[in-house]
Every structure is written in structure tokens, then in C-alpha cells.
Structure 1
């Protein structure tokens, strides 16, 4: 890593917040904080949580798209919770809903063994914590901080189908109506405000502790170096084509892959590409 790369990586490390996937995953490894966050979102009480895997990777077939779940936990009753930090506002309004659909399918297939009855499927909650309103572009978006979705009968809206699946979207820029104080304070903290209340103060303390951890710092620096390596690979692929257009296209391709994988945000990718966010989103749609 060059001196410039190291300086950039150190600056990026110092600027990390709870809204960054890397720090969010580390903080949520503390069971009491993860447990309390789920309780605040769902307004329930959980006796204990377990982490089946620190970071859950699911690939059903070698040729299928795999998913990496940020925070994957289960409670004492076998209920599964997937919590994802989402900072990328995709250009297409159905990206987020369909992402939860795919995550749900992959989780179900991962749980159910061959020959088992469908009744063995677990109750699941997929929770996306967004730094934007995921439904702003469609009529449903009402600027809420919390959107909860369950399968219901169209003719009888109060009749639940009973498949025991729930998708929840949190919007840190929402109105804060209909959520409790601790969850509101947590969303405010994501937005850069000072932590308020014991729960959010504990989150903030965990963030600072994580950033003081030398091993985590090295881990992040390694991640940052890999990010730069992949970008350089894109540039080299373009150079091999012998055209300036090829260089640009190779770099765009890598940046788009990184955004889609949740490694960097659209804002970061646009800055690296030297264009506006709007221009980058239009480019990504072609």
C-alpha cells in the first residue's frame, strides 16, 4: 500500500460511523445491543440471542447469486433475524423490496433440509436499516421511520396468510412517528446527532471501542487495500483494450459491482468516477 493509499485508508477509518457496514457488524456482535435493537424495532421481549455464524454467507448453487447477511441471529424459539445496514439508494424503486424477497428465499432454502416438511421453516424477520426512504419514489412512501410488511389477503386485509415472514424497513430520515424513544434516538444517531439515552449511548460507546481496536483497524485497512486493488484491476482491463473508453468502462464496471455488493455507496462511487450521483445512477441503469 502506498503512502497515499495508507493516508486515505486512515482517514476513511477515522470517519467510519455506525452507518458503515463494517462498524455496524462489529457493534452488533455484542448480543445485548443486538438484542435490544431487535426488541426496540419489534416491540417484543427476547430472552436470549445466538449467532449461528458471525457473518452468514448463503449460496444454494455454484451458479446462483450468493448473499452475505450482515447480522444473522436467532432467538431461543428458533426465530431468525437478518439485519442489514443500507446506505445505497438504488435508482430503481423495486431494488430494495426484491432484495428482501431474494434474501427470504435464500434463508428458507438454507434452513430446510432435503426431505423435510415445509412446517420446519422458521419464523423470520428481515430488517433493512436505511439512511433514506426506500419508498420515496412510489406512492407508498409517506416519510415514515418504520415500514412493516406481512403477507395479507387482498380481499380481507386483516387476514394474515400465516407464512411467518416479516420484512421491515427503517428510514433514518423519517418522521419518528409510531416508534419508541430508544429507536428514534438510534435513528437520530445514524443521522449524525449526539447519542441520547442509555441504549444509543451504549451503541456510541461500542463504536468508539471498535475504532480503538487495532485488529479491527488492520482488518479494515486490508479491506480498503482490496477495494483499491479491484479498482486498479478495472483500470488495467481498460488499458488492455487500448482505448481511453475502455479504461473508463473498466473502472465504471468495478465501481458498479462494488455498489451492488454494498461495499461502497453510490455517493462514494460517483466521487471516484468524477461525476454526480444522478449521472452515475443513470449510467448504472444502462
Structure 2
């Protein structure tokens, strides 16, 4: 089980810090533009961390950085640090794509109204062991080389261990930075400045410390639960205490939902019931 880092140890690789940095609209937009080599007039954040839960009996997804541009294109960006085969990165993009499309297409709309979508995984490892710094996947015809399906769905895996002179200079410097190297170039230096500013922010530090404390308590409780049966009621009570404590500390509902493994609606209802929202 991965160790929960102290606040001082966090880098751009850590999901909590990466999400905070990507809330800087200018930096997020520039990163997307450089990865995809496109121009974007403006981006919006439908949710800090978008939760999609189509059916009660289906697996919901929480998209870490989910933004839309002025033309309706959607972009999901995630930092991936686990090279565990069980994480199923490739099939996760397949599921994300399905859920994004179902969320995007409202009842009564035709399929042509689906907007282009991009799922971007920034990996601290080479997901395909081919030595490339970037892998771009689109649906193509097996029988005819160069014939694309044209469904406008794109999946991209960046590899911080890879390098190529053909890469955009900003992305090349960004990958080195993710890999722990010094910040080079105006864009990555701006990212590094944002990282340092966030780490000086007392409220953000407090939010992370609350999360870390509750995650550690959850893990400890999980170990105890494994040794004893019949503690479901106690587990639910412990989760409730965790959620209320995080609400009191001003942690975002989406963040609480992610770590408590419940829906945002449940967090909202609980917060209102306890006069915390």
C-alpha cells in the first residue's frame, strides 16, 4: 500500500497538488494546447472533480481535471503514478470514454451532437514499454492503413521517462519536470512557481493534512476490521465522522466524495442535515 506523504514531500507528481495546480486556468489551458497542438480561446471547469454516475447499479467515475473549451470539446487530464497491471489504464480510458459520452449526450439528442473528447494520462512511467514520450490513440481501420473512424475520441498517454526532439519544447520540459528534474523554460517555471505558491498556502496545507489524517485513520480502521468480523456498523460510523470532520474543515465536497467513496449528493445531503452547508 502506497505511503501517504507528508505535505513537505508533495511534488507535481502527487494527485492532490497536481489538481490544485490545474485549477490555474492559464496553466491548464496552455498544457492542453501544447499536448494537442491546438488553439483554445477559453476553457471552463464544469466541476472541480467531475463525478459521473449514470445508473445506480453502474460504477461511477471521478474525473480529476475535467474542462471544456469554447467549442464544446472536453478534456480529462489525470496524473498516473502507479505502474500496477491491476490499474488497467487502457481499459480505464475505455470506461471513461463511455461515461463521458453518456453524460455529454442528453436525452433526445442525436449522436452527431457528441463533441470531440480527449483523455490525457500523464504517467511517471512508460505505460507501453516502447520508449516513446507520448502515445496517441484514435480508432483506425485494420484493413485500410490511414483510414480513421472519425468518432473524435482521442486517448493520450504521456511518459515522463521518455524524450524526443520532435516534442513541443514546453511538453519536453514539462515531462522532465514531472520526472523530478529542474524547471526549465517559461511555462514550466510558471508551473513550479504555482506549486511553490500552493505549498505556502495555509488553507490548502490544512486541507491536505485533514485528508491525510482521515486516510490514515481509514487504513488503520480497515486493518482492524480485517481482524474482526461484524463491524459494518462501526465502519459506517467512522466514515460518517470522517466526512463531517472534513466538511467542518472546509474540504471540497468532490474531494470528500472521492476519498470516502460516496456520491457528492450524499455529501451535500449530509452537510445540509448537520448544518455544515
TM-score, normalised to structure 1, is 0.77
Q: Distance in 1 between matches of 2:226 and 2:177?
A: 41
SS at match of 1:57: strand
8 Å Cα contact 1:54/1:72 also seen in 2: yes
Matched, 1:109 2:102: yes
Gaps of 5+ in 2: 231-257, 260-277
Question: Which residue does the alignment assign to 2:225?
Answer: 237
Determine if contact 1:145/1:177 at 8 Å carries over to the other structure: no
Detail structure 1 runs of 4+ shifted over 4 Å in the superposition.
Answer: none
Aligned partners of 1:87 and 1:132 also within 8 Å: yes
**Number of equivalenced pairs:** 231
1:20 to 14, 34, 54: 14
CA distance in structure 2 between the partners assigned to 1:205 and 1:165 by the alignment: 33
Whole-Å separation in 2 of the counterparts to 1:71 and 1:173: 22
- Post-superposition offset of 1:157: 2.3
How far apart are 1:241 and its partner, in Å?
4.7
Partners in 1 of 2:170 and 2:22 — Cα distance? Answer: 16
Who is 1:283 aligned against? none
1:205-284 paired onto structure 2 within 5 Å: 205-241=193-229
SS at match of 2:6: helix
Question: How far did 1:151 drift?
Answer: 0.7
- Note the alpha carbon deviations across 1:61-87, whole angstroms, 9 max, x for none: 122111111110011110000001000
Distance 2:131 2:101 in 1: 31
Distance in 2, Cα, partners of 1:176 & 1:210: 31
Hey, what's the Cα distance between the residues in 2 that align with 1:166 and 1:25?
21
Pick one of 50, 53, 56 that aligns with 1:59: 53
Deviations 1:48-67 (A, max 9, x none): 11111111111111221111
- Report the counterpart of residue 153 of structure 2 in structure 1: 165
Aligned pair 1:47/2:35, yes or no?
A: no
Deviations 1:127-182 (A, max 9, x none): 0000001112xxxxx21000000011111121111101000000000133431111
Q: Structure 1: which 5+ residue stretches go unaligned?
A: 1-7, 137-141, 243-261, 264-286
Task: Say which of 92, 99, 110 aligns to 2:92.
Answer: 99
* Alpha-carbon offset, residue 12 of structure 1: 1.1
**Superposition RMSD on alpha carbons, in Å?**
2.0
The 3-state SS of whatever aligns with 1:132 is coil
Secondary structure of the corresponding residue to residue 166 of structure 1: strand
TM-score (norm 2): 0.79
